[in-house]
């Protein structure tokens, strides 16, 4: 158990049978009445963000979330297979957990899998990946002064907006958190 007075950003707690991560918190001491803690919590299972108020000093259960490094092997439709890099055990993760992160997932990529007990909570890709452009319109000479962008399809099937000078075959660094082009490698 942990006191609400000890809340920190990033702390994982268990409230009403659900696992939450503390995103923001504020200790409030009104002029009249008891102190309380106003918090913003992210449900790690659904991704929903809720605001919850606790009494100051109230005890909540701390949720222990383990992160394991896993290597992506292959997918079979909506099921993705990963291998634990320490024990070499294989783990199956459904499309519902990985969601839109599959558009940056490449063979043999090392990722972090967040688990609470035996329940998979989240899959975290590296912040940046390098992917090859397989399809884009050719850039027009002299059309670079405007900072305009065009659509490009990457080797994983992801579509990103890139500057006009990017061509088919170029390798790009992409931010997996935002899905934006960073630079040409």
Same domain, 75 and 97: yes
- For the residues 141-160, what does the mean pLDDT come to? 81
Asked whether residue 131 carries a pLDDT value surpassing 90, the answer given is: yes
Nearest CA to 120 out of 91, 153, 90 is that of 91
Same domain, 95 and 46: no
Same domain, 108 and 158: no
Domain with 8 in it: what CATH number? 2.30.30.30
Q: What is the pTM of this model?
A: 0.72
Instruction: Single out the residue in 87, 108, 124 at which a domain terminates.
Output: 124
- For the residues 7-32, what does the mean pLDDT come to? 90
Asked whether residue 58 carries a pLDDT value surpassing 80, the answer given is: yes
Same domain, 81 and 132: no
Q: Which domain holds residue 29?
A: 2-62
Instruction: Single out the residue in 83, 102, 124 at which a domain terminates.
Output: 124
Asked whether residue 70 carries a pLDDT value surpassing 90, the answer given is: yes
How many structural domains are present in the chain? 3
Domain with 157 in it: what CATH number? 2.40.50.140
E-strand stretches of the chain: 2-3, 12-15, 18-28, 36-43, 49-55, 59-62, 66-76, 79-84, 90-94, 110-116, 119-124, 128-136, 149-154, 159-163, 171-175, 180-184
Same domain, 6 and 51: yes
Same domain, 73 and 56: no
Same domain, 178 and 141: yes
> What local confidence, expressed as pLDDT, does residue 60 receive?
94
Instruction: Single out the residue in 81, 107, 124 at which a domain terminates.
Output: 124
């Amino acid at each position: 158990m942990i006191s609400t007075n000890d809340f920190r950003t990033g702390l994982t707690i268990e409230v009403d049978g659900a696992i939450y991560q503390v995103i923001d918190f504020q200790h409030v001491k009104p002029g009249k009445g008891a102190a309380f803690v106003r918090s913003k919590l992210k449900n790690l299972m659904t991704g929903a963000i809720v605001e919850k108020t606790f009494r100051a000093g109230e005890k909540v259960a701390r949720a222990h979330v383990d992160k394991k490094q896993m290597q992506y092997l292959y997918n079979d439709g909506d099921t993705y297979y990963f291998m634990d890099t320490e024990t070499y055990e294989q783990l199956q993760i459904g499309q519902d957990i990985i969601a839109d992160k599959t558009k940056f997932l490449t063979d043999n990529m090392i990722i972090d899998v967040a688990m609470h007990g035996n329940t998979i909570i989240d899959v975290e890709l590296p912040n940046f990946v390098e992917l090859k452009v397989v399809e884009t319109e050719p850039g027009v000479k002299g059309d670079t002064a405007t900072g305009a962008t065009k659509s490009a399809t990457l080797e994983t099937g992801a579509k990103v907006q890139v500057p006009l000078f990017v061509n088919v075959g170029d390798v790009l660094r992409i931010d997996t958190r935002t899905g934006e082009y960073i630079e040409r490698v």
